[in-house]
Structure 1
Amino acid sequence: MRLYFKYVSILFKSQLQYRASFWLLSFGQFLVPFTVFAGLYFMFERFGQLQGWTFFEAALCFGIIHMAFSLSECFARGFDAFSGLVRRGEFDRLLVRPRSTVLQVLGSQFEFTRVGRMLQSAIVLGWALYSLPVEWNTAKVTTLILMIVGGVFIFAGIYILMATLCFWTIQGLEIANILTDGGREMAQYPLNIYERWVKILFTYVIPFGCVNYLPLLYILGKQDGNEWFYMLLPLAGILFLLPCLAIWHIGVRHYRSTGS
């Protein structure tokens, strides 16, 4: 972890060398998801509710998944941009270093300008929490934190899977955006508004529902069953990451240098 934070420090200082650019990009990232949230707001302004969900309940769902996405974009960006290392033959250097390839790729790139997106997500999240009549306790606060952390792990796992494909495809595949950007767009709404096959896919295969929709039912007092079950569901994000890491190591063993 000391080496990881060293990576963070070095790249943070390098990105601040051009402060005006850094803050302008951060401001741009603040505005990018604003249009999406505006669409959510005006939809509820027009129809009042969505499958029994009020605006602030959906806003809480929106804030949690966008916070998780922005954190993953910031701290797991190395895997999202991994195809460049393979294409240029630079992954060879990582293999001869006496440290984990996962740690080195993770520390190869950070996008600190995503602080703008994080800020907007935090504002929406805070507004929703302030406006909802939720009786907060230690269990619910812990569940909320686990939901964000679990979401970060799921997005990081998807980045790792897409990076692993680069060992065979060399170039990154745009289809990955179906699971990253598409997953974010899907998970920003309550899962019960979708078709049955979508619910199954994003609960049992890619467990967005386990880190957003289902624990949210517990926080809002809408759950039907044991509270502990709903509280612990965000841990599915960590479980999702484990096979992703295993697949990554399989990909590393099959790596052949491009010779660039």
Structure 2
Amino acid sequence: MGALPLFFRLMAASISGQARYPASALLLTTGQFLGTGIEVVAVWALFHRFGEVQGWGIGEVALFYGLVNCMFAIADALGRGFDVLGTEFLRTGTFDRLLLRPRPLALQLMGHDVRISRLGRLLQGLVVLVFATVQAGIAWTPGAVALAVFALAGGIALFLGILVLQGTLSFWTVESLEIANVLTYGGVQAAQYPLALYAQWFRRVLTFIVPLACVAYYPALAILGKPDPLGAPGWVGMVSPLAGFVFLAAAFGAWRIGLRHYASTGS
């Protein structure tokens, strides 16, 4: 069996196992939808009180919010294996079994526990995108749709890269470090607002170190047809999502280094 068919079988098995308890799956998904919905209320309250924030309206910010939450929902569903690598695989010795299988290790981990509940965040992100379309009058031309899909793919790659780095740290720490949550959940919070609102040093972090701006801010500007207040040329948004794939490649480079340092629990 090829690598991708194996991945889809693992993913199907994970989803099937959760579907055996439909009430639980529904409650968890609803909880995700409502829990993240509090963030939407907070954004709405901010703009309801002040109208605009430095020239940005609620419809434009809703586009950032919707894109980022869709990216993270999919990446979080696929990257669960890296998230629990230390506690469920390294500590118990189960990781050795994965190493013995003649299939890509990353795909085995990605198919380990695909969470149905993440559909709640994904659905909420899609609802907010519809709201953004109405509020900001977004024209979803074929080019805009293609750019949104490209940005979505780049964002998924970026957040997966963060989760891969979290798993890589587990080779040395076993326990997952909370710093990864700063980059994932904190990154979602930071990327759902325009880059221009932040201090210069933080803008550089979000552009060159953890390039969340490249997968959310710049593509969203291109979709909105809005010039960048920071002066970046319009074509940047067309190519910037590539940074997400570069980040993922770098994360897997670190992952390979971690694998070389791995010592089996039986060693």
- Superposition TM-score, scaled by structure 2 size: 0.94
2:151 match: 147
1:207 match: 211
Superposition pairs for residues 87-102 of structure 1, below 5 Å? 87-102=91-106
Does the 8 A contact of 1:143 with 1:232 survive in 2?
A: no
Superposition pairs for residues 33-52 of structure 1, below 5 Å? 33-52=36-55
Give ranges in structure 2 of 5+ residues lacking alignment.
Answer: none
2:13 and 2:49 map into 1 onto residues whose CA distance is 48
What whole-Å deviation, never above 9, does each CA across 1:114-162 have from its counterpart, x for those lacking one? 1111111110111111332233322211111111111111110000001
Give ranges in structure 1 of 5+ residues lacking alignment.
Answer: none
1:151 and 1:70 map into 2 onto residues whose CA distance is 10
Task: Give aligned-pair identity as a percent.
Answer: 41
Letter aligned with residue 218 of structure 2: L
1:225 and 1:15 map into 2 onto residues whose CA distance is 45
1:205 and 1:239 map into 2 onto residues whose CA distance is 11
Residue 32 in structure 1 maps to residue 35 in structure 2: yes
2:122 and 2:139 map into 1 onto residues whose CA distance is 25
1:157 match: 161
RMSD: 1.4
What whole-Å deviation, never above 9, does each CA across 1:92-114 have from its counterpart, x for those lacking one? 11111111111111111111111
2:134 to 106, 121, 130: 130
Deviation at 1:237, TM superposition (A): 0.7
1:113 to 113, 117, 131: 117
2:251 and 2:167 map into 1 onto residues whose CA distance is 10
1:176 to 180, 190, 201: 180
- Superposition TM-score, scaled by structure 1 size: 0.96
Q: How many residues align?
A: 260
1:70 and 1:88 map into 2 onto residues whose CA distance is 28
Residues 24/135 of structure 1: CA separation in 2 closer, same or farther (3 Å cut): closer
Does the 8 A contact of 2:7 with 2:111 survive in 1?
A: yes
1:237 match: 244
2:255 and 2:27 map into 1 onto residues whose CA distance is 35
1:66 to 69, 78, 90: 69
1:246 and 1:179 map into 2 onto residues whose CA distance is 18
Does the 8 A contact of 2:133 with 2:139 survive in 1?
A: no
Deviation at 1:225, TM superposition (A): 6.0
1:220 and 1:36 map into 2 onto residues whose CA distance is 22
1:195 match: 199
1:210 and 1:229 map into 2 onto residues whose CA distance is 8
State the secondary structure of the residue aligned to 1:179: helix
What whole-Å deviation, never above 9, does each CA across 1:154-213 have from its counterpart, x for those lacking one? 110000001001111111111211101110111111111011111000101111000111
1:125 and 1:221 map into 2 onto residues whose CA distance is 16
Residue 2 in structure 1 maps to residue 1 in structure 2: no
2:57 match: 54
2:202 and 2:234 map into 1 onto residues whose CA distance is 24
